[in-house]
Amino acid sequence: MVKNKRILVGISGSFCNHSAVFHQLRYLAQNNSLTFVLSENVYENSTRFFTREEWIGKLKEISDQEIIHTLVEAEKVGPNNCYDLMLVAPCTATQCAKFVHGIYDDPMTLAMKAMIRNQRNIVIGFASNDALGISGANLFRLCAMKYIYVIPFAQDAPFQKPWSVVALWDQCEETIAKALENKQIQPILRERKL
């Protein structure tokens, strides 16, 4: 069990995964301090899954920290150096590509850069309909980077969406626990029961 840690939580698109991710975040928040940093799309938009206000409200229920949603606020993550680890869940193909190519033009990727600057580990939970397609090159480059640890993932709908991969969200806390020991949970690639 992960306890008494200050965890920075980055949340990007893949809105259909937010409910499953929130279940894990609510559990983590029972024993840890969470601060959220949201991509601009997540902070600003309502979706068919929930309104912007509903989502922001749910996050505020489990954290009393201010939500980071601007570049100005995200820039402070580096010099403040107050987080033990960052969790990015979900991490979309777009966010992955930006980070791998050094593009820090949104709050979440800028916060990721700051965590690496501070030599702090980042746990990534992938969710992308194109992870086994052209986006796969970025995904696996990110997996190979120092300070990056990956929540195990599997194809979520291989016959309907053959290139789609989603993290096994129930492995979130165990992956974090291992990452805090500088270890990657294994195996990373898993079979999902369909």
Q: How big is the CA angle at 93 (ends 90 and 96), to the nearest 5 degrees?
A: 80
pLDDT, tens digit, 9 for 90 and up, residues 153-190: 999 888 999 999 999 999 999 999 999 999 999 999 98
DSSP-derived 3-state class of residue 10: strand
At residue 191 the predicted structure's pLDDT band, cuts being 50, 70 and 90, is confident
pLDDT digits (tens, 9 = 90+) for 60-89: 999 999 999 999 999 999 999 999 999 999
